Structure formats: structure tokens, C-alpha cells
Structure 1
Amino acid sequence: MIMPTGTRRRCAECTKQLSTKAGPRARYCSQACRQRAYRAANGLYSQAAGIRRTSRCEQCGTRFEWIQSRDGEGRMYCGSACKQKAYRTRRTEHDRWSQEWREQERREREERQRRQEQERRDEEERRRGQEQARDRSGRRNSHHRIYTVEEARRILYKHAQMTDDQAVPIPKSVYRTALRLTHPDHNPGTGAEAFKEVHEAGAFLKRHGLLHGIV
């Protein structure tokens, strides 16, 4: 069969145009197409073999043909170069996302540490304020608080410079003598703490009805 002049023949397998140097009996553009045609003709492929698919490369956008039985369900790239380029792109995106995630984790960790440090400082400030308030309260109430009758008797007789005769109720003269001897106006050398202590002891005995007798 003589082909018309100027007509280019096509490969029987991939439909590409044959080279001008191909002989008059050439049917395939390459050895790979010849082997695929041989396998399809001899049942080496499945029934779906030989169905040519046309897809668009997701990387470069060009259209390409592929055989379904050999390449599985589908192909996304026209060749290994586009496939490697797409892999590098995905890897770059993954690295960028990982870096952003690590940066976000670092900012959140620093924010947690800052909040914990602020809470610790606030707690220390609150504790320091409580201690200062207790100190001020202790300075205002630094005199000894009296809780028993025996302790009140001991304080009165000690500051009155008398001997306790275990009289019940306690004479008021003991209380007045103790107040006179510890009063700061009459005794500048005596501190005010002793006077407060005597006054508190007397108030305690009055509340319990034990400060009566000789005036």
C-alpha cells in the first residue's frame, strides 16, 4: 500500500506520529509500544487492557495518555518529573505548616508561663499583704491576751507588787494599785504595755464578776 505523499503515519498503539525515518512496514513508534501491543494481543493484560485514558497533569496542566490496566485506577501526573515536583511542593507546604504549628505552640507555651508567673507574683503579693496586715494587727494588739482567771490574778498582783492571798473575789484595791503603778503619766519609765495588760486583766475579771470587795 502506497501512502499519499506528505501524509504522516501514526503509531498503532499510542497514536503518535511515526518518524520520517520509519520504514514502510513500521507500525509502532517504539519498542515499548510494540511490547504493549504484543501483550494486549496475546491476553497478557486483563479485559480492560488497551483502554487508553486521557488525563490532565495536576502539576503542569498538560494532557497525557495512559493505559488503565498498567497504571491502576488513574494517574495524576504526566511523568516522574512532575510527580517529584509535586512531592517537593507538598513537602514544602508540610514543612511550612509544621513550622507555623511549632511557632504557635511556642507562643502558647510562653503565654502559659507568663500567666503562671503572674499568678505566682499575685499570690506572693497577696501573702505579703496578709503578713503585713497581721504584723500591723500584732503591733496594735501586742499586749498579752488573758484567757484564765489565774492568769489575770497573777498579772494584777505582780504589777501591784503584792502577795496573792487567794481571796475571792479580788479586791479592787489590788487592781487600782496595779493601774497606778503602771500608768505612763505617773510612771514615765514604765511602758504602756504593762498598763494595757493590767487594764485587760481587770476587764476580764469584771466580766466574770470576780473584781469586787474593798474599794
Structure 2
Amino acid sequence: MANITPLLLNSCILVIVVVPCVVIFCSLGGYAFAQLKVPCKGLIYVLFLVGLTIPFETLVTPLYYEISGMGLLNTRLALILPLIGLNIPFGIVWMRSCFEQMPRDLIEAASIDGAGHLRTFRSIQLPLALPAISSLGILTFLATWNQFLLAVVLENDPNKRTMAGALQSFVGQYQTDVVLLNAGALLIMAPTMILFIFLQRYFIRAMLAGSVKG
């Protein structure tokens, strides 16, 4: 008999921690790369781009030894920290492209009125970037909620894995519990569908941003 309550709890905790952290860090980082004069900004941005080209699977073994050396195996931090780090490169690139499209007139007007970078970011650019931020939140949610490989590798205790990672326990060498497998897949899909239904207008708006000029 599978107890899915701790698995759902683990998945929810991961999402609640990882998604806000990625959105906040990437929004601030994207704004800095797009609007501020940061030393070695171009080189640092190239490193983020290089990070996007590295296959995720090649990082699993180094991550395992790193997490093991830190004594974090079989803890929630074993999943939270890698997931934040793995989602940041894409988030930085995504938000940088968004902030680069902001009207320069609004930024210059805010500067003339005496607004600093933080005030400009909070009061002017952040509201305009809401579609891109919502899309980043959705994509990060999907990557976190559906995470399978890290949950299996870094969590030896089945009760500490995520819902996606627990699906493996329903597939045996000689038989597969199809009923539980389908039920688990449905539970994984349901929050994703609900989230997309409520936020689809922001997601579509961000996807279409920049497609029409003038």
C-alpha cells in the first residue's frame, strides 16, 4: 500500500521553496545584466549561457558526491539547493531578454525624477515584466514538480522522494501496478494543468512578446 501523503508534501515543499527563490534571484539578476553596469558582465553572462548547454544528466554524479560530502543526502536540501542552481541559468537568460525590451523612456524618466535602481526596478520594470515572471514561475514549477532523476539519486528513503520519483516504485522487474502508476501520474499532472489554466494568459503574453513591432 503506497502512502502518497509524504510524497505530495515533499513535492509541495520543493515547489514552495524553489520557485520563489528562482523567480526572485533571476528577476534581480536579469535586471542587473540588462540595465546595470556590472564589472565583467559579458563574461558572467556567457558562463550562464554555457551552463545551458551542459546536459543535466552529466551533472548528477558530481552533484551526488558534492551533496554527500556536505552531509545532506536524504534531506530536503539535497533537492532544494541543486534545483535552484540548475534553474537559475535559464531564468537569468529569460529575464535579461525581458528587461532589455523595456522602454528606455520610462527608465530615463524615473532617473530624472530621482528614482534609484531599486525603486525603478520595483515600481516600473517589475510590473511590466509580470508576464515573463509568471512564465518563468510556470516553467520552474514544471521542472521542480516533475523532477525524477535527482529525487531517485539523492533520496534513498522512498518516503523522502517526490511524487515523480515515487513512480519508479510502482514498476517492478516482473510486474507493474498499472492502477497505482496511472493514479500517481494523474496526481502529478493535475496541479500542472490547474496552474496553467489560471496563468495561461501571462504565459501566452510572454511567448508573444516581441513578435509584433510598431
- Report if TM-score (shorter chain) is over 0.5: no
TM-score of the pair, normalised by structure 2: 0.22
Higher relative contact order (CA 8 A, sep 6+): 2
Return the structure number with greater strand share.
Answer: 1
The structure number with the bigger radius of gyration is: 1
Return the structure number with greater helix share.
Answer: 2
